[in-house]
């Protein structure tokens, strides 16, 4: 799991490698939801700018959210300030897409 401090500390490092130059930074956020809060949490997440798709799954995580932003810093803010701030979001793990 990526904690707030770890994600923030890797942003300058990745931007220094040229990740910032891409048109859009894409990522996936694995989300664990609090039982009983799934529906309202997903409804709130779905209207956040930068959220492109939400896939509900079975297993350790409850949902996979596809996100994108112009910079890695704004992608970080999307996860930390908006998605994690929603009531019913218990935990997240962010996977930033690699350039191929």
**What are the structure tokens assigned to 63, written together?**
């949902």
**Per-residue pLDDT tens over the stretch 37-93:** 999 999 999 999 999 999 999 999 999 999 999 999 999 999 999 999 999 999 999
Q: Domain range holding 85?
A: 4-96
Q: Return the CATH number at 25.
A: 3.30.70.920
Question: How many structural domains comprise the chain?
Answer: 1
b (16+ CB within 10 A) / e for 63-79: bebebbbebbbebbebb
pTM: 0.76
Q: Is the pLDDT of residue 19 over 80?
A: no
pLDDT greater at residue 20 or residue 76 = 76
Distance, in Å, from the CA atom of 67 to the CA atom of 54, rounded to the nearest integer, reads 9
Answer yes or no: is pLDDT of 2 > 60.
no
pLDDT exceeds cutoff 60 at 18: no
């Amino acid at each position: 799991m990526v904690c707030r401090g770890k994600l923030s500390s890797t942003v300058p490092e990745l931007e220094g490698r040229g990740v910032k130059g891409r048109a859009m930074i894409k990522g996936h956020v694995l989300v664990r939801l609090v039982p009983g809060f799934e529906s309202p949490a997903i409804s709130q997440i779905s209207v956040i700018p930068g959220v492109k798709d939400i896939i509900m799954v079975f297993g350790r995580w409850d949902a996979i959210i596809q996100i994108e932003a112009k910079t890695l810093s704004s992608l970080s803010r999307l996860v930390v300030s908006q998605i994690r701030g929603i009531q019913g979001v218990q935990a997240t793990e962010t996977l930033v897409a690699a350039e191929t």
